[in-house]
A and B are shown apart, each in its own frame.
Chain A
Amino acid sequence: MTFLGMPTAPRGVGRLRGDAPFPVAARAALTDTQLRRNIGHATETIRARRAALVAEMPDWEQLRRAGEAIKADTLARLPEVLVQLEEQVTAAGGTVHWARDAIEANAIVTSLVQATGADEVVKIKSMVTQEIGLNEALAAAGITAHETDLAELIVQLGHDRPSHIVVPAIHRNRTEIRDIFRRAMPGVRPDLTDDPPQLAEAARTYLRRKFLSARVAVSGANFAVAETGTVVIVESEGNGRMCLTLPEVLITVMGIEKVIPTFADLEVFLQLLPRSATGERMNPYTSMWTGVTAGDGPREFHLVLLDNGRTATLADPDGRAALHCIRCGACLNVCPVYERVGGHAYGSVYPGPIGAVITPQLTGVADNPDLPFASTLCGACFDACPVRIDIPSMLVHLRARAVASKGASLERGVFGAIAWTLRSPRRFSAAIRLARLGRLLGRRRDRISRLPWPLSRWTVARDAPRPPRQSLREWWRSRPTKPGAGE
């Protein structure tokens, strides 16, 4: 459960563990025609948009390298950077809280809300509060959390789960959204159509009342600047600005890895993030605030710094770069696996390639042993990552950790036998001769149509090659001329 003895995200709270192993959940998702159409269309659209906007940046590679280096530098100096952030936020009139895990963070936020006497909060889309299951914890304390991001609202009203880091309702099309709104949005007009502007208008009308009456807002953070204590939220709709500006109390929950050293570092991330996330030169709204400002915005600001498995991730030198992630979702959009199964199959709020390296590290690989294998290692995620996280190499590394966490197994025995065979050219040649018996299986079509378990999973949809009469080394040995140096 631990890496270097570092505690991981606790079980029984939050959304980092799925109900079914990835291959099983994925199998179900593959048969959902509507889901595949919706996700396929959406990822294709956003891929094209991102590619066009990245192509117009001649210094994109330099920005990626700078982003990678800033994140690595921050992690290498994390204690001092976090303490500096705390000092600066406090000096600017904010209050900093530290939470070892989801349970502690939920308790802190709940008691802060209770202290205001409010029984509802408005929320900005935030991955970390999904991760820790904050809404459920607040509900248990009698506090209603209203999601205000359009996609999160769709998910919340539909009693659904987010399926994408940036576009949580990517798995829903306009007609499904209209039906959810008609069914679950209080006060919605009954003749609501599925025209996107009309759906957005419905959300605007419904949420405006909430914004103007809410006393407490809860947010995540895209970045927090240690040097100044400035917190940054990047958004599109203006719901973030509403939450950050109108309520009296603002509570921000952020993972400790979201800190960056200097304000100038934002010049890198504000160029990388919007182009990678939504395929825009800049997102419509970015808000930055430092503590509290008299006469402008909340009079109380709380910043909750969360571990929840991040130090366990940091403890693995070959896995810690997963903490560099700026949650742009670009790797999801280019991933051929994500594109076909969507986000729910991953069982975590962090789906896709980055989720497959973050989630098992936050929970410990033993709790998510299938996720590192949910990839063909095609490498598209690394090329798309704005901070150059080498996700394929990290997946390979985590596979080794997943295998090690299982100890002895039939699979280990089989791989061991194969490795033993391959350690000797003589044994390898013998194995090839043995495999030649398989020629019988393919004598009708020169292909093998059916193999026993577990290779039956291959032949269920594909033929297997018929072993040749002669291996390459046998052919080489039989060549009349040109005896090479090796033979």
Chain B
Amino acid sequence: MTSARDEILARVRTALGPNPAPVTVLREYRRSSTMDNVIELFEDRLRDYGATVVHVTPDGVAAAVAEQVRGRVRVAPGLPWLESGPDGPHVGGVAVEVDDGGPAAELDAVDTAVTGAAAACAVTGTIVLDGSPDQGRRALTLVPDRHVCVVHSGQIVGAVPELLARLNPRAPLTFVSGPSATADIELQRVKGVHGPRQLVVIIVADTTGQ
């Protein structure tokens, strides 16, 4: 008896016939953007989604994070603004927990997660997380109700093709475009179902890398 695999592949070959005509894919859509207001547009989109946007200079990140977190705070293990003090780790003077990869159920008691980002896209107001140490495992930015995400201006591109070009496909990727939402009830958009209901984006104006 042939395996399901072999049989399905054989069916596909039969269905296509001996010489399926090759297809040329023309990519005449915009693959790069030439906009000069990328950060403005990104912010506009984020606000449209109901996210909070904060602008800071590189030396103001820790203070901004400290201001935006609420309640019990957990941060990605490789967050650059993490400092250790005599009373444990803190960011900008606010005590935080460092995510240790423990049971996800523990995250249910956490109020705020703080991470960096892998890249962002202005046209769609999207932030991408790729599981790097400054972003942590996926559960960290999912279970707590508030996500504070630090994005560098140099990480923000204009359009979707530029965004994908910056990503490592094999990393666990999460694209976040505003807070969790649903339109399942009469097509009315309701913010916040299972993911974080509050999204705070801290945009760091880089002097280089733009």
Contacts and interface: CB of A to CB of B under 8 A. Distances in A.
Contacts of A463: none
Interface stretch (B58-66, B90-98, B100-108): B100-108
Interface stretch (B23-31, B81-89, B200-208): B23-31
Given A197-B190, A282-B125, A283-B177, A305 B8 contact: yes
Contact of B23 (A6, A76, A104): A76
A21 interface: no
Contact of B8 (A100, A170, A245): A100
A288 B169 contact: yes
B54 interface: no
Contact of B28 (A46, A66, A274, A284): A66
B11 interface: yes
Given A6-B14, A69-B24, A82-B9, A100 B182 contact: no
B160 A76 contact: no
A100 to B, nearest CB: 5
A59 interface: yes
B173 interface: yes
A204 B194 contact: yes
Interface residues of B, number: 73
A264 interface: yes
Given A239-B194, A242-B194, A296 B187 contact: no
A236 B183 contact: yes
B45 interface: yes
B131 A296 contact: yes
A208 B143 CA distance: 9
Interface in B155-210: 160-161, 163-165, 167, 169-188, 190-196
Contacts of B164: 263-264, 266-267, 270
Nearest to B145: A204
Contacts of B179: 284
Among B9, B123, B191, the one with the most A-chain Cβ atoms within 10 Å of its Cβ is B9
A212 interface: yes
A225 to B, nearest CB: 7
A468 interface: no
A473 interface: no
A177 interface: yes
Nearest to A41: B186
Interface residues of A, number: 103
A224 to B, nearest CB: 12
B72 interface: no
Which secondary structure dominates chain B's binding surface? loop
Contacts of B165: 264, 267
Contacts of B171: 290, 293
Interface string B1-43: 0011101110111111000111111111111000000000000
Contacts of B4: 97-100, 104
Contact of B12 (A62, A99, A314): A314
A263 B168 CA distance: 10
A66 B29 contact: yes
A163 interface: no
Contact of A295 (B8, B22, B137): B137
Contact of B26 (A69, A211, A293): A69
A289 B192 CA distance: 23
A45 interface: yes
Given A69-B26, A286-B173, 8 more contacts: A59-B28, A92-B170, A225-B169, A236-B181, A238-B193, A256-B12, A284-B177, A290-B170
Interface of B: 3-5, 7-9, 11-16, 20-31, 45, 49, 101, 104-105, 108, 121, 123-126, 131, 137-139, 142, 160-161, 163-165, 167, 169-188, 190-196
CB-CB nearest 7 A-B residue pairs: A238-B195, A238-B194, A282-B124, A237-B193, A286-B175, A311-B11, A315-B15
Interface of A: 4-7, 38, 41-42, 45-46, 49, 58-59, 62-63, 65-66, 69-70, 72-73, 75-79, 82-83, 86, 92, 97-100, 104, 148-151, 154, 167-170, 173-174, 177, 196-197, 199-201, 203-204, 207-208, 211-212, 225, 227-230, 236-239, 241-242, 244-246, 256, 263-264, 266-268, 270-271, 274, 278, 280-290, 293, 295-297, 305, 307, 311-312, 314-315, 320
16 contacts: A6-B14, A58-B30, A69-B23, A75-B16, A97-B4, A98-B3, A150-B193, A151-B184, A168-B184, A196-B186, A203-B193, A237-B180, A238-B180, A242-B194, A295-B137, A296-B137
